[in-house]
A and B are shown apart, each in its own frame.
Chain A
Amino acid sequence: MDAIAEWFRTLYDTTGINITVVYDAYDRQRFIEGLGMTIMLSVVTIFTSLVIGVAGAWAQSSPLRLLRFAINGFVTVFRNTPPLVQIFFFYFGLGQILPRVEDADGMRVPLIDNVEWAIISLSLFAGAFNVEIFRSGIEAVPRTTVEAAESLGYTRLGIYRHVVLPLALRVCLPALSNNLVNLVKTTTLAYAIAVPELLYVSKQIWTDSQNVPVMMLILLATYTVLVGILVFIMHRWERALAIPGYGQGAGR
């Protein structure tokens, strides 16, 4: 480990390529924490947005008109407004209105802090897209399959859970993985409300060390790797789920 750090230090001395995140313990620590925050944000928002998508798509087939109308309104609004403005609206707009609470040290802190607001608004943003994606998958399930399940005495929730959703999932997986990749890229917007994620710490590092171009390339490469990992997982999932006749990987 020391030998590698030493090598990068000589690289800086001889060529001027300054990769502080490898040899400088403080920068490395910051970078790893930022990476951890980005991964945490991504995993949590992916999970909650999937939950929103599944629940929303189910509610869209509800017999209650008001509920359907509300879900459609939510999807339309969140799909057609900029995610950054959504984050600002939640964090600055709603965050200011909510009351402040006292924490363990007796400090007045906001009820919901910036990391939590980032999670909430990013989940809602990606969740709106997920609702639409799951709906398209559900529409692809043949009506006869649903009727067969109905005649077997399944309840509405039972049909959704055991028949429609498993089939719909296979149809919409490619679109879903696209959206989740997009979500991972959108986590950078949390930068704007000072969530210490990868972009935020990278900016701190390149301001301190004056190595903007190098640090930017490292940052871009890191995001490419993160997205690559997600794409790999989704591909594996797609192949594991594949059954003939459904989805892109069918029968292959």
Chain B
Amino acid sequence: MTERPSVPFAVLHPYRRPEPRPFRLRLRLIHGVGIAGAVALIGGAAFAQGGTSTRSAFEVILQWSPLLLSGFLFNITISVLAMLLGTIAGIALGLVLIGHNPVTRWTGWVFTQFFRNSPWLVLLFFAMFLIPYEFRVAGTTIPFPDWIKAVIGFSLPVMANVAELVRGAVRSLPSGQWEAAESLAFSRRQTLWMIILPQCVKRMLPPWMNLYSLVTMATVQASIVGVTEMLTLTSQVHAAEGGRPDLLAPLYGFAMLCFFLYCYPIERFTLYLERRFKV
């Protein structure tokens, strides 16, 4: 590795970037203390109020956790599907944004800004109310349940954000890349697919993962428009336990904990990628 005896001075070696540390989610003692503290807080908040005859919040959550976690899994499913759909549509829209045709480019820009600057919840309402609940194609009815409409509703802002990411990443590449490709007789499409976009992936990955984390956290909004996901189940569990007011804080705390345990590693990994890809 360091066998370079011919040049004695360290300064004369060519600069080599230090190897980035490999990503590991180091669970230190402090994390354990934090999570244990959260659990104790959730359990204890109700225990202080509950008295002796009622069950503690911890027991309630433990009993219902399979149901609540299945709801959480549904949230994850919605987020993954919305991200998939939004990314595909967003890349297409992003390619329109960097295109040469001024009319489509301008329309695409208006489209992007519109969906980027509207609140997610309003877009969700938009999808819920304006998409029919079933489609009739050549005699057969294709049902369109609420949660698929929610997926579409979430993929709209994802689409606009991904389009902006694509545009930004392509713009950030030096124009020399385009010129070099042109002088090698690549067509515009070839340049885009074989030269420009592969380089953009690296730049787009950290913000894209950030966006995914945002989508995951936004999926709970689907409960407002009537999709049965984790928050809906949480309030149902609360009702099933007799509507004790002291149970609400632990139950919602449990939902927060689930999302935290899912989103925190994603955040750390995004930070790691950002540091690693930094030029």
Are A and B co-members of a single complex?
yes
Q: Among B121, B130, B252, B264, which residue has its beta carbon within 8 angstroms of that of A93?
A: B252
Decide if the interface of chain A is mainly helix, strand, loop or mixed: helix
Report yes or no: B267 in contact with A79, Cβ–Cβ below 8 A.
Answer: yes
Report yes or no: A92 in contact with B248, Cβ–Cβ below 8 A.
Answer: yes
Asked if B47 is at the interface of the complex by the 8 Å CB criterion, the answer is: no
Asked if A186 is at the interface of the complex by the 8 Å CB criterion, the answer is: yes
**Mask for B233-264, Cβ within 8 A of A = 1, else 0?**
00000000000011011111101100110011
Given contacts A77-B260, A82-B220, A92-B248, whether A220 and B255 have CB atoms under 8 Å apart is no
Given contacts A80-B264, A181-B117, A220-B126, whether A85 and B249 have CB atoms under 8 Å apart is no
* Chain B, 96-136, CB within 8 A of any chain A CB: 113-114, 117-123, 125-126, 129-130
Asked if A40 is at the interface of the complex by the 8 Å CB criterion, the answer is: no
Which A residue's beta carbon lies closest to that of B120?
Answer: A185
Chain B residues near A84 (CB-CB < 8 A): 220-221, 223-224, 231
Asked if B88 is at the interface of the complex by the 8 Å CB criterion, the answer is: no
Asked if A179 is at the interface of the complex by the 8 Å CB criterion, the answer is: no
Report yes or no: A224 in contact with B118, Cβ–Cβ below 8 A.
Answer: yes
| Nearest CB of chain A from residue B62's CB, rounded to whole Å | 18
Chain B residues near A203 (CB-CB < 8 A): 125
Q: Which of A1-9, A166-174, A211-219 touches B? A: A211-219
Given contacts A80-B267, A82-B217, A220-B126, whether A97 and B118 have CB atoms under 8 Å apart is no
Bound CA span A79–B231, Å: 19
| Nearest CB of chain B from residue A239's CB, rounded to whole Å | 21
Report yes or no: A199 in contact with B218, Cβ–Cβ below 8 A.
Answer: no
Given contacts A185-B119, A186-B119, whether A97 and B45 have CB atoms under 8 Å apart is yes
Chain A residues near B121 (CB-CB < 8 A): 188-189, 191, 199
Report yes or no: A199 in contact with B249, Cβ–Cβ below 8 A.
Answer: no
Decide if the interface of chain B is mainly helix, strand, loop or mixed: helix
Bound CA span A51–B259, Å: 27
Asked if B5 is at the interface of the complex by the 8 Å CB criterion, the answer is: no
Q: Among A92, A97, A212, which residue has its beta carbon within 8 angstroms of that of B129?
A: A212
Report yes or no: B117 in contact with A81, Cβ–Cβ below 8 A.
Answer: no
Chain B residues near A88 (CB-CB < 8 A): 231, 252
Given contacts A79-B267, A216-B125, A216-B129, whether A223 and B117 have CB atoms under 8 Å apart is yes
Report yes or no: B117 in contact with A96, Cβ–Cβ below 8 A.
Answer: no
Report yes or no: A73 in contact with B34, Cβ–Cβ below 8 A.
Answer: yes
Asked if B49 is at the interface of the complex by the 8 Å CB criterion, the answer is: yes
Report yes or no: A97 in contact with B260, Cβ–Cβ below 8 A.
Answer: no
Q: Among A97, A186, A191, which residue has its beta carbon within 8 angstroms of that of B49?
A: A97
Bound CA span A81–B260, Å: 5
| Nearest CB of chain B from residue A140's CB, rounded to whole Å | 14
Asked if B87 is at the interface of the complex by the 8 Å CB criterion, the answer is: no
Asked if B213 is at the interface of the complex by the 8 Å CB criterion, the answer is: yes
Asked if A232 is at the interface of the complex by the 8 Å CB criterion, the answer is: no
Given contacts A86-B256, A89-B252, A223-B118, whether A96 and B246 have CB atoms under 8 Å apart is yes
Bound CA span A219–B122, Å: 8
Bound CA span A94–B42, Å: 12
Asked if A249 is at the interface of the complex by the 8 Å CB criterion, the answer is: no
Report yes or no: A192 in contact with B267, Cβ–Cβ below 8 A.
Answer: no
* Contacts A80-B213, A82-B255, A89-B256 supplied; 9 other A-B pairs, CB < 8 Å: A77-B256, A81-B217, A82-B216, A82-B218, A82-B220, A82-B259, A93-B251, A199-B119, A224-B118
Which residues of B approach A to under 8 Å, CB–CB?
34, 45, 49, 113-114, 117-123, 125-126, 129-130, 213, 216-221, 223-224, 231, 245-246, 248-253, 255-256, 259-260, 263-264, 267
5 shortest interchain CB distances as A-B pairs: A93-B249, A96-B245, A82-B217, A185-B119, A89-B252
Show 25 residue pairs from A and B whose CB-CB distance is below 8 angstroms, ordered by the A residue.
Answer: A80-B217, A80-B264, A81-B259, A81-B260, A82-B216, A84-B224, A85-B256, A88-B231, A89-B249, A89-B256, A94-B249, A97-B245, A185-B118, A187-B119, A189-B221, A199-B121, A203-B125, A212-B129, A213-B129, A213-B130, A216-B129, A219-B122, A223-B119, A224-B117, A228-B117
